[in-house]
Amino acid sequence: MPKLLETIPEISVAGGRCQLPPGDKNGATGTPRQALVGWHNQGARTVFFVDEDAVAGSGDNLAAISDAAHKGGGRVHLIYSGDISNDERLTAALASGASQIVLEVADSSDADWVRDTLKHQHQRVLAGINIHGGDAVDRHGKSVGDLYGLIDDLATYGSPSFVISENSGRDHWFHKDRHVLAGICESVSAPVFARGAVKHETDIHALVPLNPQGLVAVIVGKPLTEGAFTLEDAVTAAEARYDPYEWGPPQP
């Protein structure tokens, strides 16, 4: 039996600061370590750090994220996403203490380097792919070629997991997008993470049927950090028999 679909909080870090989980100080900002501890206290088993400065090419937040990884209690699986485009950046990210690193494959100009990295860093580097409809796109939304051809190529080189980000700007995974996500799950034997396109906990429940096909987690940013629903709500919504009208698990 597959594990329950996991909800992973996404934490955007810029200038060493990030928004903390909702609680007594709603809207407060703090350090990545504070955010990690806060989410762990709310039940998170994994967090997804996005290094906004690295993505923008204006530095990075690896020191602050490394502090979270080494001093945040050691009980939370930490995934790092930044501008990983060469060996120097990869080495620094791997040394941060993050459990796994996301390599955005469509944003790299060196396909051979991507393949070699996935081959030799098999267990720690995840293949990140942005999709818009049935297309693989770069971070700017430009199509980069056949989605399934890209996935087949990456699977050949041993990608241990895929992080699929919905890049249309919609608030949730529409039926066409879910069809594409289902096709990805069916075409690979590796675990698949769905990132973005979640506004309500019911959007998480809509993805539950893909769990037996290989979808293991949903990565959620603003709706969680801004309190649209709680991590506990997300866990409840991941139940196969969840009833949104009852606002909780179904009664026996």
77-93: per-residue pLDDT in tens? Answer: 999 999 898 899 999 99
pLDDT computed for residue 222 by the predictor: 92
Q: What does pLDDT average to over the chain?
A: 87
Residue-wise pLDDT tens digits, 34-68: 999 999 999 999 999 999 999 999 999 999 999 99
pLDDT computed for residue 33 by the predictor: 95
Name, of 98-107, 150-159, 238-247, the range with top average pLDDT.
98-107
Q: What is the mean pLDDT of residues 179-202?
A: 91
Q: Which domains, and CATH codes, for the chain?
A: 6-237 (3.20.20.70)
Q: How confident is the model at residue 75 (pLDDT cuts 50, 70, 90)?
A: confident
Is residue 125 within 8 Å of 87, Cβ to Cβ? Answer: no
9-18, 122-131, 235-244: which range is least confident on average? 235-244
pLDDT computed for residue 2 by the predictor: 56
Is residue 19 within 8 Å of 228, Cβ to Cβ? Answer: no
- CA–CA distance, 225 with 11 (Å, rounded to integer): 8
Give the closest residue to 237 by CA, choosing from 1, 21, 2, 5.
5
**227, two tokens:** 């309190």
- CA–CA distance, 34 with 205 (Å, rounded to integer): 29
Reported in sequence order, the residue ranges of the chain that DSSP labels E, i.e. its strands, are 6-13, 18-19, 29-30, 46-51, 77-81, 100-104, 125-132, 135-137, 143-146, 162-166, 192-195, 215-220
What's the whole-model pTM score? 0.91
Compute CA 206 distance to the chain's CA centroid, rounded to the nearest angstrom: 17
Q: Please determine, for residue 159, whether its predicted confidence score (pLDDT) is greater than 80.
A: no
pLDDT computed for residue 1 by the predictor: 41
Dmax over Cα atoms in the chain, in whole Å? 55
Taking CA atoms, 214 is separated from 4, 65, 183, 191, in Å, by 11, 29, 11, 5
pLDDT computed for residue 246 by the predictor: 56
